[in-house]
Amino acid sequence: MSEKFRCFGNTPLYADYHDNEWGRPVHDDNKLFEMLILEGAQAGLSWETVLKKREAYRGAFDSFDPRKVALYDDAKIAELMTNAGIIRNRLKINAAVINAKLFLEIAEKYGSFDRFIWAYVDDKPIVGHWERFEDMPTTTPISDRISKDLKKMGFKFVGSTIIYSFMQAVGMVNDHLKPCFVYEEMLSK
């Protein structure tokens, strides 16, 4: 029996993320907020490091409820800075609080963050047709535009590379490699 080809995932945690989450369209605002915060937390680190800390993040950040995170004060931020289960970077923690407030403003204005963010791709995933991981871009004109728009609104840790990773994570882009078993599955949806 041959092993399934996957784009990445040489550990059980990483393989599970690849097989069941990465590139699959997400339309739940809390999940979109989670991925926005985790992608920002990843800056300068590996995604596997963030995945290993994900459960601790969920506990520390009230299951990524933006209504709760938006209310975090200096005492809560100080508490998070002592939590060894998460990435203890004050700028990234402060960014999560700032971004939660702005996330809620967008959701209020557009009816949901989902409606706002998916409009950038006309509510349909962009399909990459990559044979090799090395061919995949790290930014695109759309990620550049989203990044610029979010920064203008005051969001932090939303550079174009982070936004492109976010787009991949939430399925706005299907960048599974063509030989990957998930690629065909996603095309048929």
> Residues 124-135: pLDDT tens digits?
999 999 999 899
pTM of the model: 0.95
| pLDDT above 90 coverage of the chain, percent | 89
The CATH number assigned to the domain holding 103 equals 1.10.340.30
- Cα(103)–Cα(70) distance, integer angstroms: 9
- Cα(164)–Cα(144) distance, integer angstroms: 8
Q: Is residue 129 part of a domain?
A: yes
SS3 (DSSP) at 186: helix
Q: Is residue 6 part of a domain?
A: no
> Residues 34-73: pLDDT tens digits?
999 999 999 989 999 999 999 999 999 999 999 999 999 9
> Residues 90-110: pLDDT tens digits?
999 999 999 999 999 999 999
Using alpha carbons, select from 189, 103, 130 the residue that is nearest to residue 138.
130
Give the range of the structural domain holding residue 50, as residue numbers without chain letter.
Answer: 12-187
- Cα(7)–Cα(183) distance, integer angstroms: 9
Q: Is residue 107 part of a domain?
A: yes
pLDDT in the model for residue 174: 95
> Residues 10-27: pLDDT tens digits?
899 999 999 999 999 999
Catalytic residues: 17, 39, 47
- 9 or 47, greater pLDDT: 47
pLDDT in the model for residue 37: 97
Rounded to the nearest angstrom, the gap between the alpha carbon of residue 107 and the centroid of all alpha carbons in its chain is 17
